[in-house]
Amino acid sequence: MYKFFKRLIIFALIAVIAACAFKTPILKAIYPIGYIDEIDENSQRFNVDKYLVMGVISAESGFDHQAQSHKGAMGAMQVKEDTAEWCNEHFALNLDVSNLYNPSVNITVGCSYLEYLIDMFDGDAYVALAAYNAGLGNVKNWLKDKNYSSDGKTLDKIPFKETDEYVKKVLKRRDIYKKLYG
């Protein structure tokens, strides 16, 4: 019986050491990155944290540039055509926004819009992500409502469960990507 427990303890120690040694490669397999050139270029161009962009892409499409939502959002950052057209005009991007499945076009538009939202909400990524997901109009209404915002600038609570979960997911993934690839 003593030999059994001794072997069990040795096996457990080996398993712990192996898990620690392979933790990063395993996590990198679970949290892969793609489109790194597009992310680097556009996060710098639009002054958006590249790990936040990775978190958005991971949550929105799992880095699938062919992704399409039931609401008509397309590509890696799940951009809608009307948003792309607005960004193209507002930021003078000069892009063919009819091809939102092109990662370069999609990430350029997504980063430009994310910068716009972050700037609008004074650098508050939490509020900006809520607007990215639920829409700017909804977030502006929530900020006016004392049930959701005590100061009119930050959100104390997000009333849409899907949006609340989305924001938390993106921020968690941002932190994971920064830890793994930063």
Q: Mind giving me the DSSP string for 23-43?
A: HHHHHHHHS----HHHHHHHH
pLDDT tens per residue across span 64-119: 999 999 999 999 999 999 999 999 999 999 999 899 999 999 999 999 999 999 99
User: What backbone torsions phi and psi does residue 8 show, to the nearest 5 degrees?
Assistant: -65, -45
Q: How many CB atoms lie within 10 A of CB 20?
A: 9
> Considering only CA atoms, which of 149, 147, 130 is closest in space to residue 138?
130
pTM surpassing 0.95?
A: no
Q: Is 60 a catalytic residue?
A: yes
Each residue's pLDDT tens digit, 22-59? 567 888 888 989 999 999 999 999 999 999 999 999 99
Write down the catalytic residue from 38, 60, 81, 85: 60
